[in-house]
Chains A and B, each alone.
Chain A
């Protein structure tokens, strides 16, 4: 069976079966990274271009390693070193990249809309590595993979996503995905950080973290975007961490077996304390590890690999 999607723009467009296909296949790709020779010839001769118009450490490295472990050729371009900085429109830049015949473009971009347009215009595969406040589908997939790996199932899980939901593409993609696989989601934030119309998302919304802590199987903390503080979404970091930070006291009140997640980068001391980030419940580094495997799966599927579930 062929994978029906040329591109991955968002989790919104995937069915729950497709999400499970990705998660199931990821298991075997994860094994490759544990070998002594971490490379298979699957994508030999394929070219993957990484266009990163926003700073990224994890996602970019993760995609690059994923492509390389599948033997694809990769090249990465970031905004500061590209002609984007010289005023070339991104569409022109993308078309120039296309003229060099890549098989796949992985793109991170600060605004919504472009990734969708590229997917419609360019013949190669487009994988969204995060676009504005829209979606970050590979993050949600690696999050779901990690939850399932730790907790055995996704169905019926209670996942609390805490923090700046308003500006979070990670939250949006996770909400789409978790709803599709039958998990329950609670979004926790002060009202200023909840998106307009969140009541139509079909998830629980809470403004207090404490009552949610003992209920959740997963507590996913989102980064507080320090650069947005000037817009006065909350008074200061002290008050924020008092009400919405994950600290030792709250970790102790978590359900047995419940886990702590964070998409990174963390602001230790703001949304999460050292105790919490480094506690035994934390699966933050597992998320990173799984990120490579999930991205291997997606590159493989997007570049024409067969859907293969054992």
Chain B
């Protein structure tokens, strides 16, 4: 398969040029000047005016299977991912049963091999049942195919358990992903704490509930000399802590979500529960700091925190509805929006969903290097469109982006050279 005349953007190789790319046996065979002749009999895809990108790695998603298939399952998440240019989905452990043992890991991997269009890579729990008490079987889960461990959604409270988790996980070279939240400080909060939460009459989650745990985890990482990845940071203060830690040589990395880069707490004003997430949407100054964090390479990755919830669950009072929004399908279009609204180089944003998550998690992929697996996206950077509920491939439709205009659309997605989007 010969993809002709597209703009190849590959942050892993600092490549950004118009070129042709040849795919053979699911791998990238080579990259050639576009003037050259196409070998006879080769299938040609005309990519003129298009961008050809490495398939995205979404390092934080909730696929909900097993246990919550009414919200989402491996097949539907895979379809949503493919439609969003995501070829690798890293899925969190808060399923039912929790992915805290190799049997659940194997179930996810086997099911994904059977039904998913994209690669699904499970994250194992840090502690049994996400209860924060007993370490889960990290070594066995690693052998079964987990790529990291995390107690996402129910962060480890006990600092001593977290310390042991870091040390033990590093024994098996398992990256540790930390959702930083002091649950006592967060209390019954449902949005960012500040003047707006007081005005709306909604209980708040203070920034310090996140920052205090970012501090703890960064200190533990420095002390144990084990790298840590802090997921979905949302405040200026968290970024400052991480920035200082990086300067001190602590091996801390972090990601932010597209919604924290695009939205602020102002969106909560209409009490739309699709704007209720954890961490909550923050103030404009926080959003600006996160954007600067990307510009300055302090933010390593961008991840969707795809969190599907059924309509009847979200159709409750703001105080009572569950946290989260979907984001797999809008990941790449959101990056384009960030690029256009905040004037950040697109290749720099692309690195946050390709090269960087591959490095943080030690994964193959996220690149268009010759010899690499042909996980790719063809993206039309000028197509204008608006998100409608009907377009959403996920089983759940909980996103505040419905009705929003986007520029740039995924045209085709390939996993190991096989087209997975559009569906035939």
Q: Do A and B bind each other?
A: yes
Chain A residues close to B by CB (< 8 Å): 89-91, 111-114, 116-117, 131-135, 169, 172, 195-198, 200, 231
Within the complex, the shortest CB–CB distance from B85 to chain A, in Å, comes to 35
User: Beyond the given A133-B202, A134-B200, A197-B195, could you list 10 further A-B residue pairs with CB under 8 A, ordered by the A residue number?
Assistant: A89-B312, A111-B320, A112-B319, A113-B319, A117-B271, A132-B202, A196-B194, A196-B206, A197-B197, A231-B187
**Which of the residues B187, B201, B203, B316 comes within 8 Å of A169, measured between beta carbons?**
B201
B206 and A112 within 8 A (CB): no
Query: B201 touches which one: A117, A134, A196 (CB < 8 A)?
Result: A134
Q: Is the CB of B198 within 8 A of A89?
A: no
Indicate if the CB atoms of A89 and B316 lie closer than 8 Å. yes
Q: Shortest beta-carbon distance, B316 to chain A, in Å?
A: 7
B193 part of interface (Cβ distance < 8 Å) = yes
B contact residues around A89 at 8 Å (CB): 312, 315-316
Q: Which residue on A lies nearest to B202, using beta carbons?
A: A112
B residues 284-328 in Cβ contact with A at 8 Å: 312, 315-320
- A113: chain B residues at CB < 8 Å are 200, 202, 271, 317-319
B155 CB-CB contact with A under 8 Å: no
Q: Does B196 have its Cβ within 8 Å of any Cβ on chain A?
A: yes
User: How does the 8 Å CB contact mask read for B179-217 relative to A, with 1 for contact and 0 for none?
Assistant: 000000001000001111111111110100000000000
Complex Cα–Cα for A169 and B199 (A): 10
Give the Cβ gap from B321 to chain A, nearest Cβ, in Å. Answer: 10
In whole angstroms, what is the CA distance A137 to B204 when docked?
Answer: 23
List chain B positions with a Cβ less than 8 A from chain A. Answer: 187, 193-204, 206, 271, 312, 315-320
Collect the chain A residues with CB atoms within 8 Å of residue B194's CB. 196-197
Q: Which of the residues B193, B196, B201, B203 comes within 8 Å of A131, measured between beta carbons?
A: B201
- Among residues of B, the one whose C-beta sits closest to the C-beta of A109 is B317
Q: How far is the CA of A112 from the CA of B316 in the complex (A)?
A: 11
| Nearest A residue to B318, CB-CB | A113
From A91, A111, A133, A200, contact of B195 by CB (8 A): A200
**Cβ of B197: which chain A residues have Cβ within 8 Å of it?**
196-197
**B271 contacts A195, C-beta separation under 8 Å:** no
- Least CB distance from B201 to A in Å reads 3
> In the docked arrangement, what's the CA distance between A116 and B319, Å?
14
A-B contact pairs, 23 of them (CB 8 A): A89-B316, A91-B315, A111-B319, A111-B320, A112-B201, A112-B271, A113-B271, A113-B319, A114-B271, A114-B317, A117-B271, A131-B201, A132-B201, A133-B203, A169-B201, A172-B198, A172-B199, A196-B194, A196-B197, A196-B198, A196-B204, A197-B195, A197-B199
The answer to whether B317 and A111 have CB atoms under 8 Å apart is yes
- Per the bound structure, the CA–CA distance linking A12 and B276 in Å amounts to 24
**Interchain nearest-CB distance for B209 vs A (Å):** 12
Flag if A195 contacts B198 (CB, 8 Å). Answer: yes
CB-CB nearest in chain B for A135: B201
B-side contacts of A132, CB under 8 Å: 201-202, 319
A300–B203 alpha-carbon span in the complex (Å): 34
Known contacts A116-B271, A117-B271, A196-B193; A111 and B318 CB within 8 A of each other: yes
Alpha-carbon distance between A132 and B271 when the two chains are bound, in angstroms: 13
- Inter-chain contacts of B196 with A (CB < 8 A): 197
- Contact partners of B204 in chain A: CB under 8 A: 196
Of all chain B residues, the one with the shortest Cβ separation from A132 is B201
CA distance A195 to B202 in the complex (A): 11
A191 to chain B, nearest CB (A): 14
Kindly report which residue of chain B lies nearest to residue A112, judged by CB atoms. B201
The residue in chain B whose Cβ has the minimal distance to the Cβ of A133 is B201
Which of chain A's residues have a CB closer than 8 A to the CB of B319?
111-113, 132
Nearest-CB distance from A124 to chain B (Å)?
Answer: 20
Residues of B within 8 A of A172 (CB): 198-199, 201
The chain B residue sitting closest to A113, CB to CB, is B271
**How distant is the Cα of A245 from the Cα of B187 in the complex, in angstroms?**
28
Identity of the chain B residue whose Cβ is nearest the Cβ of A165 in the assembled complex? B198
Closest-by-CB residue of A relative to B317 is: A111
**In whole angstroms, what is the CA distance A172 to B315 when docked?**
27
B residues in contact with A117, CB < 8 Å: 271
- A179 to chain B minimum Cβ distance, whole angstroms, is 13
Report the Cα distance A132→B312, complex, angstroms. Answer: 22
Contact assessment for B200 and A112 in the assembled complex, using a CB-CB cutoff below 8 Å: yes
Instruction: Kindly list chain B residues whose C-beta atoms are within 8 Å of the C-beta of A134.
Output: 200-201
Question: A90–B203 Cα gap in the complex (Å)?
Answer: 20
Find the B residue at minimum CB distance from A198. B198
Which residue of the partner chain B has the closest CB to A134? Answer: B201
A195 contact set on B, CB distance < 8 A: 198
Measured in the bound complex, the distance between the Cα atoms of B271 and A111 in whole Å is 11
Q: How far is the CA of A172 from the CA of B200 in the complex (A)?
A: 10
Measured between alpha carbons, how far is A231 from B198 in the docked complex, in Å?
A: 18
Cross-chain contact B318 with A197 (CB below 8 angstroms)? no
Q: Closest A residue to B193 by CB, please name it.
A: A196
Q: How far apart are A231's CB and chain B's nearest CB, in angstroms?
A: 8
- Residues of chain B with a CB closer than 8 A to A198's CB: 198
Q: How far is the CA of A112 from the CA of B197 in the complex (A)?
A: 10
In this complex, what residue of B is CB-closest to A120? Answer: B270
With a cutoff of 8 Å between Cβ atoms, the chain A residues found around residue B316 in the complex are 89
Contacts of B200 in A (CB 8 A): 112-113, 134
Q: How far is the CA of A133 from the CA of B190 in the complex (A)?
A: 13
Minimum Cβ distance to chain B for residue A185 (Å): 15
Q: Measured between alpha carbons, how far is A91 from B198 in the docked complex, in Å?
A: 24
| Given A112-B318, A114-B317, A196 contacting B202 (CB threshold 8 A) | no
Select the residue from A114, A134, A135, A196 with max chain B CB neighbours within 10 A.
Answer: A196
Q: How far is the CB of B187 from chain A (nearest CB, A)?
A: 8
Q: Which of chain A's residues have a CB closer than 8 A to the CB of B315? A: 89, 91
CB distance from B113 to the nearest CB of A (A): 39
Distance in Å from the Cβ of B185 to the closest Cβ of chain A? 12
- List, in ascending order, chain B residues with CB within 8 A of A133's CB: 201-203
